[in-house]
Amino acid sequence: MTLEPHLNPSPFKPALSFSARLVKAALGLVYPPSCIACQGATGEPHGLCAHCWAGIRFIERPFCERLGTPFQVDLGQPLLSPAAIADPPVFGRARAVAEYDGTASLLVHRMKYNDRLELARALGTMMTRAGAELLADADVIVPVPLHRWRLWRRRFNQAMALAGIVSRESSVPCDPSLLHRVKHTRRQVGLTKTQRQENLQGAFRVPPEAKAKLKGKRVLLIDDVLTTGSTANAAARALLRGGAASVDILAFARVVTEA
């Protein structure tokens, strides 16, 4: 049995024609579909086998309405976590598909560091579903930008790749020109929350020519992973100062620490 992360077709896509299905079937004979995580056999391309699917810890309600972090007990009503109350984020709401471990962390790492850009299709589709309530309120999608030097070295921005898929699946427009990364920060891996905040001070800016387009817009910020929320806060702060009405964030995975 194979479980896929994209069983339900998007309502925004037309049904495949007979000739397209024929070509798809022929390609399946020559290149059998494989799991995007372990390369094992699957029933459909761009999917996960049952074993890898079981290795994803999906984040579903009950969770903190601001941070999107899961609760262990369902109290039957929307709640805020102690972290959200003690240190409210700059952004409005955060949502993620899964916890950043197991299969989820493997997929992010392969897309980000192994040039597996094709993984954005499956990850972005899952993000579209997990972020449905945020997308319903969004006017525009904005990917978290990379500094031009890091983009030159990596050759692609994984957040932009995911944002493109989410935009296509939801029909919410994506505009990467609304936010620029103007400071070449050091990598965040291994830094404490305080160090991350200091590292990101002044890192993002809304270009002057973009402020008219951004004014009054409800923005959905897209990233691959949420760790401490420092990047999301810094980017959201720049967008709000640039004229955005609100900023929510949607990621594929987020780090969840035990309380």
**pLDDT (tens place) for every residue of the chain, 259 residues total:** 333 444 334 434 444 565 656 555 444 444 578 898 888 888 777 789 999 999 999 999 999 999 999 998 887 788 999 999 999 999 999 999 999 999 999 999 998 888 788 899 999 999 999 999 999 999 999 999 987 776 667 677 899 999 999 999 999 999 999 999 987 776 666 667 777 767 778 889 999 999 999 999 999 999 999 998 999 999 999 999 999 999 999 999 999 986 5
Residue 196 and residue 133 share a domain = yes
Residue 155 and residue 83 share a domain = yes
For residue 155, is it within any domain? yes
Answer for the pair 43, 6: CB distance below 8 angstroms, yes or no: no
Stated pTM of the model: 0.82
- The pLDDT score that the predictor gives to residue 81 is 93
Residue 92 and residue 198 share a domain = yes
For residue 259, is it within any domain? no
Structural domains of the chain, count: 2
Residue 212 and residue 104 share a domain = yes
Q: Note down the domain range covering 105.
A: 59-254
Answer for the pair 196, 231: CB distance below 8 angstroms, yes or no: yes
Helices (H), the chain: 18-30, 50-54, 82-86, 102-113, 120-130, 132-137, 148-154, 158-170, 193-199, 211-214, 230-241
